[in-house]
Amino acid sequence: MSKIKVAIIGPGNIGTDLMIKVIRLAKNLEMCAMVGIDPNSDGLARAQRMGYVTTHKGIDGLLNLPEWKDIKIIFDATSAKAHAYNWGVVQQYPDKRIIDLTPAAIGPFLVPPVNFDATHNVKNVNMVTCGGQATIPMVAAVNRVAKVHYGEIVASIASKSAGPGTRANIDEFTETTAHAIEQVGGAEKGKAIIILNPAEPPVIMRDTVFTLSEQADKAAIVDSVHKMVSQVQQYVPGYTLHQEIQFDDIPEDKPVFIEGLGKRYGLKTTILLQVEGAGHYLPAYAGNLDIMTSAAMATADQFAQESLLTT
C-alpha cells in the first residue's frame, strides 16, 4: 500500500517524538526527512541512525534534497517566528501542506475531534497549543449542548516538560489558546493560563476547564463531554477525566462580571482532566507534548488517507 511521505522541521523533543509516532503508529504516512539548524542536534543524529535523510540547513536545505519532490506533508515543530519563514517557502508548492505545531497561528486552528472536517483543502493548519488540544474539545462539548458565554482553561504541566521553545512562546501560548477557545471551542470569550509546576518527581499534565453557558440539561452536558473524551482517546489513550464533572448555577439576580462581555448568568461547568503521555520517546508525565504530537500525527494521517483515496 502506498503512503504519503512526510518531513519534520525541528529535531527537538517534539519533533523526535513525532518521528517515533509516525514510524510506529501512522497508517498512511512514511517518514522521510528530519530537518534542523544545528549539525550536532541529537534529534538529527537519531533520525540519521534510523536511516532517514537529514539536513542541518533548515527548510532551505530540505529544498535541495532529492526527496523534496516526493514529500507532501511537512510538520513544523520549530517556533512561531521560524514558522513564518518556513510557511513562506512551503506555500510556493501547491502539492504540499504544512502542519504547524508552533503558536504562530498563520493557518486556521485545528483540533481533530472538533473541526477537522472544515480543513480538508487548507494548506497550513495550526495545532493551537498543548493546552488547547487538551481543553478545547471540552469547551466544544459543552457548547454543542448550551451556548458557552465564557471559557477559561488552566493548563498545569511539569516544568521539566517545558523546553526552551515552550518557554520562549509563553505569551503566544496564552493568546493563541484564548483565540482558539473562541474560534474552535465556540465560546464568546476565552482565556488561557499556563502553570509550569517545578514539583519533583514531575507531575502529569492536568487541565481545568471552566465554562459559563446558558442553562441546560446537566445530564446532556455530561453525556456530551464523555463522548468527546472517547473521541480524543482514539489518538491520545492517556486522556481522561480526573474527577466527575461539577456544576454550579449562577442565578440571574447574582450574575458574574466577565471582562469584555459584561454581566452573565447561567450554568458554570467545571471539567478536570489528566493527560498521560504514551512514552514513545518522551516521559509519560509529558502529556502536554504527547497530545500535540499525537494530534498532529492523527491529522496528517487523515489528510494522507483522503489524499490516497482521491489518487
32 catalytically annotated: no
* Closest to 37 measured CA to CA, from 57, 18, 54: 57
Residue type at position 205: M
pLDDT of residue 103: 83
- Distance (Å, whole) CA 88 – CA 112: 25
- Distance (Å, whole) CA 240 – CA 276: 8
pLDDT of residue 271: 98
What are the residue boundaries of the structural domains of the chain, listed by start?
4-127+290-309, 130-284
- Distance (Å, whole) CA 301 – CA 139: 25
- Read off the pLDDT of residues 237-295 as tens digits, 9 standing for 90 and up: 999 999 999 999 999 999 999 999 999 999 999 999 999 999 999 999 999 999 999 99
Residue type at position 132: G
- Distance (Å, whole) CA 304 – CA 96: 11
- The mean predicted confidence, pLDDT, of the chain is 95
Helices (H) and strands (E) in the chain, counts: 10, 14
209-236: average pLDDT: 98
Q: Which helix (H) or strand (E) holds 17?
A: helix 13-25
* Closest to 75 measured CA to CA, from 21, 134, 117, 113: 21
**pLDDT over 70 percentage in the chain:** 99
- Taking the model in full, what pTM does it have? 0.95
> Does residue 215 have a pLDDT over 90?
yes
Phi, psi of 196 (to 5 degrees): -95, 105
Q: Which fold has domain 4-127+290-309?
A: Rossmann fold (3.40.50)
Q: Which fold has domain 130-284?
A: Dihydrodipicolinate Reductase; domain 2 (3.30.360)
- Distance (Å, whole) CA 151 – CA 4: 37
pLDDT of residue 1: 60
SS3 112: helix
CB 70, CB 95: distance < 8 Å: no
22-38: average pLDDT: 97
* Closest to 130 measured CA to CA, from 177, 90, 87: 177
> Which is the catalytic residue, given 90, 130, 181, 297?
130
CB 18, CB 297: distance < 8 Å: yes
pLDDT of residue 104: 87
C-alpha distances in Å from residue 239, one per residue of 5, 132, 272: 28, 13, 11
- Distance (Å, whole) CA 192 – CA 131: 8
* Closest to 264 measured CA to CA, from 211, 224, 216: 211
- Read off the pLDDT of residues 238-250 as tens digits, 9 standing for 90 and up: 999 999 999 999 9
pLDDT of residue 311: 63
